[in-house]
């Protein structure tokens, strides 16, 4: 159907992102992403051999924090939004196979 070179494995990406998509969405996403890639390919045509890579768009550096404990234990409040807790643990459906 599609040629291998231009094929984008949407289902693999969906699996990595843990989203479920149907076939219609798959086709739409593939064509959307292809057009984005086309745009990026166009940008790649610009000659950047004399340009240093931009490490961050902001002209500023990381601010550092002193190594001090500033947070008090506040477990009950922090766990209030969790779907299920037990004995102080968050619990989730068993993930080991």
Task: Give the integer Cα–Cα distance in Å for 62 and 69.
Answer: 20
If one asks whether residue 41 binds another protein (CB under 8 A), the answer comes out as no
If one asks whether residue 38 binds another protein (CB under 8 A), the answer comes out as no
Among 31, 35, 48, 79, binds another protein (CB under 8 A): 79
Task: Give the integer Cα–Cα distance in Å for 90 and 58.
Answer: 37
If one asks whether residue 67 binds another protein (CB under 8 A), the answer comes out as yes
Residues 10-29 that bind another protein (CB under 8 A): 12, 15-16, 18
| 23 vs 71, beta carbon nearer another protein | 71
Q: Following DSSP, what letter does each residue of 9-51 receive, concatenated?
A: -HHHHHHHTT----HHHHHHHHHHHHHHHHHHHHHHTS--TTS
Nearest CA to 8 out of 53, 38, 42, 48 is that of 38
Which residues sit at the interface with another protein, rule CB under 8 A? Answer: 12, 15-16, 18, 55-56, 58, 60-71, 73-75, 78-79, 81, 84, 86-97
């Amino acid at each position: 159907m599609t040629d291998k070179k231009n094929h984008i494995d949407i289902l693999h990406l969906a699996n990595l992102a843990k989203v479920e998509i149907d076939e219609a969405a798959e086709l739409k996403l593939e064509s959307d992403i292809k057009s984005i890639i086309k745009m990026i390919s166009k940008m790649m045509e610009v000659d950047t051999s004399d340009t240093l890579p931009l490490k961050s768009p902001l002209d500023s550096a990381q601010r550092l924090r002193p190594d001090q404990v500033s947070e008090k234990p506040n477990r009950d409040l922090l766990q209030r939004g969790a779907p299920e807790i037990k004995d102080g643990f968050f619990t989730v459906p068993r993930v080991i196979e």
